[in-house]
């Protein structure tokens, strides 16, 4: 084998190596480019998902704030005023002589049966409002003359035969605990209130 043949073999080997190496290089480059494109696409998808989650979080935050505001407003509406001695203060208050006599708390009333709600208020109170309260929600029972009783005497004493569980709005309450009766009236320009001394229960007494 002469020198020229050896040189030709060497040149051919080098060329082959360069061609193969170049092919491998560009093949690797194409794979890397493909992976890069896939990663960019995945990154875009993840960014879109993150944006969606942010929008959902903003929506949840807004709804939570609105719910907290409604709860706060509802609590203010259903908040019982503090006791007071003088109605001339022109504010809602609980007078010492404005009393809900029964229920006073601890009673177990039978759903659907008649229970007599009783109160005693100053003689010059005209109309009282009765409401049933549970869990911060008020259910009106009706408006009555302050002296709503069988004797017809104008003495500020009243008795309402309540069908346990019924409300003026047609809603029938379910058996359960933590019920209260709330009485409210306007007296000399001020809102006066009283509530059961403690919660009572409504039971299903029929077998």
Helices (H) and strands (E) in the chain, counts: 1, 9
Structural domains in the chain (count): 2
pLDDT, position 48: 86
User: Is this structure's pTM higher than 0.85?
Assistant: no
Do 94 and 74 belong to one domain?
Answer: no
Do 151 and 193 belong to one domain?
Answer: yes
Do 37 and 92 belong to one domain?
Answer: no
Q: Average the pLDDT over each of 15-19, 39-43, 97-101 and give the range with the smallest value.
A: 15-19
Do 115 and 22 belong to one domain?
Answer: no
Mean pLDDT of the chain: 79
Put residue 106 in one of left, alpha, beta given phi > 0 → left and psi -120 to 50 → alpha. left
Mean pLDDT along residues 49-70 = 85
**Tokens, residue 198:** 């403690």
Question: The domain containing residue 190 runs over which residues?
Answer: 87-203
Do 19 and 97 belong to one domain?
Answer: no
In the chain, what percentage of residues exceed pLDDT 70? Answer: 72
Q: Is the pLDDT of residue 41 over 90?
A: no
Q: Average the pLDDT over each of 93-97, 134-138, 203-207 and give the range with the smallest value.
A: 93-97
With cut-offs at 50, 70 and 90, classify the pLDDT of residue 125. confident
> Which of 31-35, 75-79, 162-166 is most confident?
162-166
Burial 72-93 (b: 16+ CB within 10 A, else e): eeeeeeeeeeeebeebeeeebb
**Helix, coil or strand: residue 54:** helix
Do 168 and 199 belong to one domain?
Answer: yes
Q: Which of 79, 108, 142 is the last residue of a domain?
A: 79
pLDDT, position 108: 94
Do 46 and 126 belong to one domain?
Answer: no
Do 30 and 121 belong to one domain?
Answer: no
Which contacts (CB < 8 Å, 24+ apart) does range 167-172 have?
167/132, 167/139, 167/140, 167/141, 168/139, 168/140, 168/141, 168/142, 169/139, 169/140, 171/139
The 10 Å Cβ neighbour count of residue 127 is 12
With cut-offs at 50, 70 and 90, classify the pLDDT of residue 70. confident
* Prior bond of 26 cis (ω within 30°): no
């Amino acid at each position: 084998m002469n020198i020229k043949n050896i040189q030709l073999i060497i040149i051919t080997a080098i060329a082959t190596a360069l061609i193969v190496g170049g092919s491998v290089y560009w093949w690797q480059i194409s794979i890397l480019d493909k992976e890069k494109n896939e990663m960019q696409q995945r990154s875009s998808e993840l960014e879109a998902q993150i944006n969606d989650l942010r929008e959902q979080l903003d929506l949840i935050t807004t709804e939570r704030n609105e719910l907290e505001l409604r709860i706060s407003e509802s609590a203010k509406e259903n908040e019982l005023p503090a006791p007071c001695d003088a109605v001339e203060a022109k504010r809602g208050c609980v007078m010492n002589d404005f009393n809900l006599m029964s229920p006073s708390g601890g009673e177990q009333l039978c759903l659907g049966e008649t229970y007599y709600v009783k109160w005693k208020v100053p003689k010059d109170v005209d109309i009282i409002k009765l409401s049933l309260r549970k869990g911060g929600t008020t259910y009106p029972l009706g408006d009555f003359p302050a002296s709503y009783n069988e004797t017809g005497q104008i003495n500020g004493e009243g008795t309402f035969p309540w069908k346990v569980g019924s409300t003026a709005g047609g809603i029938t309450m379910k058996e359960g605990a933590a019920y209260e009766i709330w009485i409210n009236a306007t007296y000399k320009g001020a809102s006066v209130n009283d509530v059961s001394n403690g919660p009572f229960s409504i039971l299903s007494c029929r077998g």
